[in-house]
Structure 1
């Protein structure tokens, strides 16, 4: 196998000169010699070592995307939300001439040695908790963007949505349709994450309308279709009558609809369901799912734009951009009789 030294010997130049030509550093090399070296490389089908090149030019062309809280037996791409986020990020990364590296971890801090080993040029974290942000900021000196993180830390870039308002408008919409017994469904939350904010919006709407005694919640083990099916069955046979459900994710809501249906309940005639995300799958369900759109593609695009701005300009940014949410009305919410 031909080496860089072999090419240098054949061209009558130093290894450093060949390395400069490979890495696009032409300042001290004549046009004739550049052409000669490139011809020799082509003739011998020489492929530069990517790791060596990254060390030479101090860039790897790798962008890391970290998806936390994924168990070793879990397929992260079964989440339509993760798939949509990754699809948009990959398009941006590819368009800018970089490569995507995805890593799933139990917690974000586990990724620190991996990032340092692979010499990535930037990283995007999905849903990191506040205490993790402090450690990441301390240990990593590279462009970082957080998505859906609630933290008091200064000097970071976070792109999120107004989760509190999303929970509020979803619940107010159900109340406007005559519903009083509304159940909140979502995974257990740690202080300051998106689920807590959505639950806070639900509580505010219920209390504003004088329905404090009607506050109900069901905690999901995870955010999956299967969890939704199980909770749907449970709600169908609950002692207290539940006429509407607000789920913190569309995938949960779609599972809920199936669980209710399997238990003999009609959606929306018996139980109304509203989700959160506005995934494409909402349009394909029967009935089509009413939901809160968090503009997932816009969120991912803003995150990618901020990351590449930091890489391009070689400077840190500090911003917390909150994208507005909106209600998307479809077919899964029923107007109760006797109400306008």
Structure 2
């Protein structure tokens, strides 16, 4: 009896009997359409009627058809893959940034290849090489210590790139970031306005990317305009972790017992500062005001609630993919430096200096 595939079940049984890989021809036959129609549906063409597209997608599902990525890359010169290289992405703000990247990438039909380098150049270069082999369409670099080295490699590979969470003075590179200079300036200006003159700072690592350097620039500018002398000894280095904030607070109290405010360059370090001060019976904000940067959720729930610069990591991630997609498609970008909004959120960890009598004796007695 001649099998002419006059039913879907006959077709599927016959295909299984042959034990062959499903091809576009199989999908076309089951759906009753041409090969070109299947191709258009798989490439999301708007030229196919909705009813026809549903038939093709139903056939794809029934046959569990898998698109040949290598063939698609050769045909379209696109992989629909985006590479993301970062360091310390377990930190709350950066994890939220990655969520934004994932959400917008998924919306635009991209899959992600992600590598956390732990701030090691060798790892970052290794990830870049792997991503190049995967024919990624573009790459997002986040908080890398070695941005100059990586950008040189990326440019050599001619891969579209967006730098997230940092400003780079390069007309060929698009950046999406908060205005770190302006935001840090806002913090110091606020502290000065509420009476603080003896301020200490916890910065990021000296080798860290531009975000920390930009915040330092903003601090210096605000100090100068407030007629406060810049003292590099008052800048203690941290690494953006809770532990480094805790350790830096100890150094500050030992070296500068008269300090009335501490500005940590991210919220995690600020939370570490508050923890140290509370353990040593130094009241916040009665004895020392504390300010952070980023606006992570934890800051709202600690006691006292943290004054901070709020920026949206999620929005930063969304915008990074949006801009990268435009770079990939060679669309005109009016300004390759995109700033997301920031806001100084004043909570209970800071207050006017003259509202309390700073207990210098308490601070002095609790050093160490």
For 1:141-160, list aligned pairs within 5 A.
141-160=158-177
Q: 1:327 and 1:6 mapped to 2: Cα distance?
A: 56
- CA deviation after TM superposition for structure 1 residue 305, in Å: 1.5
- CA deviation after TM superposition for structure 1 residue 276, in Å: 0.9
- CA deviation after TM superposition for structure 1 residue 331, in Å: 0.9
Which residue of 2 is the match for residue 127 of structure 1?
Answer: 143
> Structure 2 regions of 5+ residues with no counterpart?
1-18, 46-52, 357-368
Q: Is the 8 A contact 1:11 1:36 kept in 2?
A: no
Deviations 1:203-261 (A, max 9, x none): 222233332176611111x1111211222233344453221100100111111111111
1:84 aligns with 2:96: yes
For 1:249-328, list aligned pairs within 5 A.
249-311=266-328, 313-315=329-331, 317=333, 319-328=336-345
CA change 1:55–1:281 in 2 (3 A) is farther
Which residue of 2 is the match for residue 117 of structure 1?
Answer: 133
Q: Is the 8 A contact 1:250 1:291 kept in 2?
A: yes
- CA deviation after TM superposition for structure 1 residue 293, in Å: 2.1
Equivalent residue pairs, number = 326
TM-score by length of structure 2 reads: 0.75
Q: 1:91 and 1:41 mapped to 2: Cα distance?
A: 25
For 1:209-288, list aligned pairs within 5 A.
209-212=226-229, 216-220=234-238, 222-288=239-305
Which residue of 1 is the match for residue 11 of structure 2?
Answer: none
* Match 1:66 to one of 85, 91, 94: 85
> Structure 1 regions of 5+ residues with no counterpart?
27-33, 71-75
CA change 1:93–1:243 in 2 (3 A) is same
Which residue of 2 is the match for residue 329 of structure 1?
Answer: 346
Deviations 1:127-163 (A, max 9, x none): 3555235414422333321113333322221112221
Q: 1:301 and 1:5 mapped to 2: Cα distance?
A: 36
Which residue of 2 is the match for residue 30 of structure 1?
Answer: none
CA change 1:47–1:244 in 2 (3 A) is same
* Match 1:104 to one of 86, 98, 116: 116
- CA deviation after TM superposition for structure 1 residue 17, in Å: 7.6
